[in-house]
Amino acid sequence: MAPSMRLRRAGLLALAVSSVFLLSGCNPPSTPAEDFPGVPTEADADVVDVDSGTDPAGDEEETQSSENGPVVVWWADGGQLALTISGSSTCPVVGEQIRVLEEAGEGNRVAIDLVQRSEDEICTMDFVPHTTLFWTPTTVTTTEPLIVEVFGAEVEVPVK
């Protein structure tokens, strides 16, 4: 085999291997990007109020606060999802993993698993919000309502 042919094959092999590494980096991880005490603020990101609107009679609905259950909003222009759940400040409810249940066009649904805590863990009796940020999976879209299953509830995040 000619030296130029060997060099060409080596170059193609290097290109193929590097392409595999680059393409595998396109999917965001399913683990949290970060978590922090408190709630997301409008100054930090484009927060969407998932519970406001009107009822069938045309009256304004009361906005559900995070004290009543989980709240999920688009974060960072749809690049992330912010999950806020209230609980003990010393034993916060923290998201552990996000899983796609139905891709965009087929239901646009994800589930967020929570960190399991030991039953004998000693926690304070306060009630404060804690937020976990997840990268938005590439197989869901912000152009359809997103259903998030978390903490025994379904939360609908509206179109961004």
Helix extents (H) in the chain: 3-24
- Domain that includes residue 51, residue range: 28-157
Count of structural domains, the chain: 1
Q: Return d(Cα 130, Cα 110) in angstroms, integer.
A: 20
Residue 3 domain flag: no
Residue 4 domain flag: no
Q: Which residues neighbour 97 within 8 Å (Cβ) at sequence distance 6 or greater?
A: 30, 31, 112, 113
> Considering only 21-25, 96-100, 115-119, 154-158, which range has the smallest mean pLDDT?
21-25
Stretch 53-67: mean pLDDT: 41
User: By the 8 A CB rule, do 133 and 82 touch?
Assistant: yes
Residue 138 domain flag: yes
Burial grade of 91 (CB within 10 A; 0-12, 13-18, 19 or more): middle
- Greater confidence (1 vs 10) lies with 10
Residue 82 domain flag: yes
50, pLDDT greater than 90 = no
160, pLDDT greater than 50 = yes
Contacts 24+ apart (CB under 8 A), 61-66: 66/39, 66/129
Residue 44 domain flag: yes
pLDDT digits 0-9 by tens, 101-156: 999 999 999 999 999 999 999 999 999 999 999 999 999 999 999 999 999 999 99
- The pLDDT of residue 107 is 96
- The pLDDT of residue 114 is 97
Residue 1 domain flag: no
Residue 10 domain flag: no
Residue 102 domain flag: yes
Q: With the C-alpha atoms ordered 6, 12, 18, 21, is the resulting torsion angle positive or negative?
A: negative
Q: Return d(Cα 30, Cα 69) in angstroms, integer.
A: 22
